[in-house]
Chains A and B, each alone.
Chain A
Amino acid sequence: MKHIVIIGNGISGITAARNIRKKNDNRITVISEESPFFFSRTALMYVFMGHMKFEHTQPYENDFWEKNKIDLLHDTVLKVDPNQKSVLLKTGKSLQYDDLIIATGSKSNKFGWPGQDLDGVQGLYHKQDLEKLTKSYKTIKRAVIVGGGLIGIELAEMLLSKNIEVTMLVREKSFWNGVLPNEESAMINELIKLHHIDLQLNTELIEIKDSGTGKVKSIVTSKNEEIECQLVGLTVGVTPNIDFLKDSGIEIERGVLVNEFLETNVANVYAIGDCAQHRTPTGGRKPIEQVWYTGRIMGETVANSICGNRSDYQPGIWFNSAKFFDVEYQTYGWVWAKPKENEATFFWKSKNEFKSLRLIYDKIGNHILGVNVFGIRLRHEVFDQWIQEKKNIEYVIDNLKTANFDPEFFKHHEAEIKNQFDKSTVCNLI
């Protein structure tokens, strides 16, 4: 019987464990320093806002692990020794493995700002970040959030739910503009301001000032403004959490380098999820993907390989989703912030609601490449198929209703969208 050791009990590590267990009876140990049981970190915000209790973020009941003979260790891994095939733990124990899966996820970025380690400066990623914020929020009157991305806006929503005033510093000229095209980005700017957030664009953090007691007193921005605050939320992206692998012989760069089979340079050692860096990413994907579902797919893939069916990572066509306050966002296929040379774009926006639809299609082939949608739900399966089968844009416009996933009785916009599309193509012809 093999012993499979998994470092990290997030979606990647746990998916691997569950899928290995489905296939055979090998001994499985999952080690986590963060929490005794698997939880969904995407739901931490809902715990803070009082929508859920922490236990609700745990998708499996606590006795599930014992029933499925998956050993859980609440411990920290200090070192991995591939030559001895062993893992050294903080508690002094060491574990022998036959196969090792590294699934340690990320940690919040800090870019060396003066004062970044003061009390009151934090990110939002780990369970411990939530615990810290839960302790401190009552004394916070104003918070400054640094970074215009998905976690930043979640943190803003969390703080607003406690009536804390929020300033957001965004380096770009518009929110999440490196990912969202201008129109969508502008719409989210508007939404942010509607929620009484002091949104400062083209602005960076220069320094965090100490109150004299080791706590945050204020920050200074690149526009030379000093803002008094009791919390600084650093939400400027995340980085693979792999410091413990330095000098282990396992090749790392920003993340743990893996081939398409999620294998590292060392035999029997794999890396999956946020901490893996793909040597040859496919499908226009980035080498490091910090997305829930890719972690899940990598977990399934590595489980196959370990159980004798060597499988490569095939995440399929890109998709993602998010929610900005009450506005839902979904995307299928690639929609870049600025269209590429071969790409044509069609954009529709509702006049009085936060709803929009952007279709990207090939200028020559006329086939659909991607979609960005706000305030309307679209069927993953349908768009995935359309993009794969290279359906042309007219077909997509005519059949948009098939892809609608809004609840029953919701207002439909397909006719309006088609109308606008027809008009715009007539204009193009003239």
Chain B
Amino acid sequence: MVDIQPYKTGFLQKLGLSLSALGLLILAVTLFGVEFENNGLLLTVSLLSIFVGTSIYAIKTYISLPAGIKNHGIWFNSLTSKGLLGWITAVILTGFYVVLYWFPEYLGQGVKGAANTNLIALFNPLSDLFTGKPATQWFVYGTLYTLIITTLGIKFILKYRHNRYQIIRTIVVIIAQLFLAYLIPNIMEGLNSDKAYFAMDIKYFWPLNYYFFNDWHLNNMVHGGSLGMVYLVWGIIGFLVITPFLTYYFGKRWYCSWVCGCGGLAETAGDPFRHLSDKSVRAWKIERYLIYGILLLITLITLVVLYGYFSGSSTFLGLDIYTYFTHPYGFLIGAAFSGVVGVGFYPILGSRVWCRFGCPMAAYMGIIQRFKSRFRITTNGGQCISCGNCSTYCEMGIDVRAYAQKGENIVRASCVGCGICSAVCPRGVLKLENGKLEGRIGKTFSYKK
């Protein structure tokens, strides 16, 4: 057995952090107008530095500690306990999203045919490589998003290296983001650059993809040749058949904590903030109103959109469909909620604000998970000591302990099946399982004979 080194920030960790900071610095200086002669080279150096630097830091940090739960000092660290650093991070992240969605010109997005500058221009060579086109703010965002999930995913794997469920799940999260959400769509777009845009991430189903049935998106798929038709049919099968089918067998975790992009970011970059979710009964009440309200909203809007599409009308009851229906949803829910609040508030409200309070896909699967699914978290007899680790580290704000201490299974619409409650439990009480439907809800074990 390996000897355990007491924790210290040694040379390698400092090297890793410096390298990572260098990579970030290159990105940051472009925002202030610094231009490089060779963007391709600088971008490569920047992205690689972030990846390699963070990996070195994580490897050295976690491998020198014994395998096991690594939560020492979480509530003492200013970044992870809503301290000053947490608030600063939240403000920066929120600011980034506001600029990204509504003021991309500050990132250097060329407007009205003008060439890109600043940060966006730095990504031009990579975008050119994929599609032959200059970068957009969405390409930059997608690239950074993928880099973050990959890098912090590796950190997560090292942190939970004693737990194979976490390792395998996170490898899948990384692969889903890197290939399904990033590489394949970008390569396909390059190969079909004559066709108008439609979403090419094969797991980006309606209602998470709220614009799937919008007339422009339907048109782009319909006129997108056989590839467009494949995506159209796949998208419909995806939400009508695949989603309920897989959710019945495995619970919504197959999506939310294994392949979803929003979930992927929450599980990797958001992991240090998971304990900040609100566990109060009040929050649970708000959650139910909000999330099912949004599912209802997007369903109604989509029906209006489809009515418009098939009737050829651009208005519904005299109201312009774009102005009164699709645009407000995209602005308020698609951008403000999922991006600005969803990720920007990680350090304040925890990592799953969007998934818990907003995501209509999660709401849809949640209904299935609650009423007709083989998934549950099982409680191990009478072993619970009510310590509260499970509830504290539930990113969805579920009071897991309330069930565990009664010896009850946990069957909740919101559970994304990340498995951390089971990992942090010091008494081996919780286990994510798929099994028979009968007896799934309620008490399972009585120690009295």
Contact = CB atoms under 8 A, between A and B. Distances in A.
Contacts of A178: none
A330 interface: yes
Give chain B's interface residue range (CB within 8 Å of chain A).
Answer: 35 or more
B448 A316 contact: yes
Interface string B37-79: 0000000000000000000000000000011110111111100
A230 to B, nearest CB: 19
B389 interface: yes
A138 interface: no
B164 interface: yes
B4 interface: yes
Nearest to A328: B428
Interface in B407-449: 419, 422-424, 426-428, 431-433, 444-445, 447-449
B74 A50 contact: yes
Contact of B68 (A56, A293, A325, A384): A325
B18 interface: no
B155 to A, nearest CB: 19
A407 interface: yes
A93 interface: no
A409 interface: yes
Contacts, number: 152
Given A50-B72, A297-B447, A381-B381, A407 B419 contact: yes
B382 A377 contact: no
Given A49-B73, A379-B381, A410-B164, A42 B67 contact: no
A322 B380 CA distance: 14
Contacts of A59: 386, 388, 401-402, 405
Given A408-B165, A410-B165, A379 B380 contact: yes
Contacts of B326: none
A407 B447 contact: no
A317 B432 CA distance: 26
B387 interface: yes
Interface string A402-420: 0001111111000000000
Contact of A42 (B163, B385, B419): B385
Interface string A270-293: 000000000000000000000011
Interface string B143-167: 0000000000000000000111101
A405 B432 CA distance: 10
A322 B389 CA distance: 14
3 pairs of A and B residues whose beta carbons are closest in the complex:
A380-B381, A326-B68, A377-B428
Interface of A: 11, 40, 42-43, 46, 49-53, 56-59, 61, 160-161, 163, 190, 194-196, 292-293, 296-297, 314-317, 319, 321-323, 325-326, 328, 330, 352, 377-381, 384, 388, 405-411
Given A46-B387, A50-B71, A59-B405, 14 more contacts: A42-B387, A46-B388, A46-B389, A49-B72, A51-B74, A56-B392, A196-B6, A326-B67, A328-B427, A328-B428, A377-B380, A380-B382, A380-B445, A381-B381
Interface of B: 1, 3-4, 6-7, 66-69, 71-77, 162-165, 167-168, 280-281, 378, 380-383, 385-389, 391-392, 401-402, 405, 419, 422-424, 426-428, 431-433, 444-445, 447-449
